[in-house]
Amino acid sequence: MSLNEVLTQLSIISIWEGLALVLSLAYVIMAAKGVMWCWPIAFFASAIYCIIFFNAQLLMDSLLQVYYMAMAIYGWFCWQLGWSKKDNHVTYTRWPVSHHLVIISILCVLSFALAHWLELNTQADYPLIDTFTTIFSIYATYLIAERVVASWLYWIVIDAVSVYIYIQKSLVVTALLFVCYTILAAWAYYQWQKHYKEQPVDNNLSSAY
């Protein structure tokens, strides 16, 4: 796709896609800073993207947005429980590497199986890549709600792969958004690591992420 084509699509971006873009960026930035109001913003951004992805026949991505809406509610209550009134931001945790490796293995098997089913029974585009990003996004979102530092490492990979999908589907603005997501995820990981190390309880184990 040429630069002129990209500029043309940017000039005709829909109001709804533009709003979803702004809300989504605001969510990531606020989540990286541990601001609880990121969750209501995430809810409305996901509702908009649910419709956009459904119209683009990215079925798994559309379904994923429904999950994000539910997780926005769950995340709001989880962060309330983990809120530090002293520091005025959410507290963070780490899980053992072995735990992550077991879950990753299970999710890979599940992704291959679901992608195979979609390939045989639906008209979904890019079923394998789309399914992998969807399955791991579900897990990574749960990790953010649970305030696990390593959640942003998952998002770095997921967002980078998603850029390719959206370029292929000519969703230029969304692809650009995910480029920003990849960069912001790296920044968010740095922020959460920093705040985790500054927490009063010294539970910073080298074997946990």
Mean pLDDT within 84-98? 79
β-bridge partners, 208:
96
185: which 2 tokens? Answer: 């995820």
Q: Which residue has the higher pLDDT, 118 or 137?
A: 137
User: Residue ranges of the domains in the chain?
Assistant: 14-84+92-198
pLDDT at site 182:
94
Stated as kind and residue range, the H or E segment containing 168 is: helix 151-168
148-178 pLDDT, tens digit per residue, is 999 999 999 999 998 988 888 777 777 887 8
Least confident of 17-26, 89-98, 110-119, 164-173: 164-173
In contact, 149 and 188? CB cutoff 8 Å: no
Pairwise CA distance, residues 191 & 55, whole Å? 36
Stated as kind and residue range, the H or E segment containing 114 is: helix 97-121
Stated as kind and residue range, the H or E segment containing 83 is: strand 83-84
Pairwise CA distance, residues 140 & 152, whole Å? 8
Q: Tally the residues of the chain.
A: 209
In contact, 31 and 189? CB cutoff 8 Å: no
Q: Which residue has the higher pLDDT, 118 or 48?
A: 48
Q: Which residue has the higher pLDDT, 189 or 178?
A: 189
Stated as kind and residue range, the H or E segment containing 161 is: helix 151-168
51-76 pLDDT, tens digit per residue, is 888 887 777 678 878 989 999 999 99
31: which 2 tokens? Answer: 């989540």
pTM more than 0.75 = yes
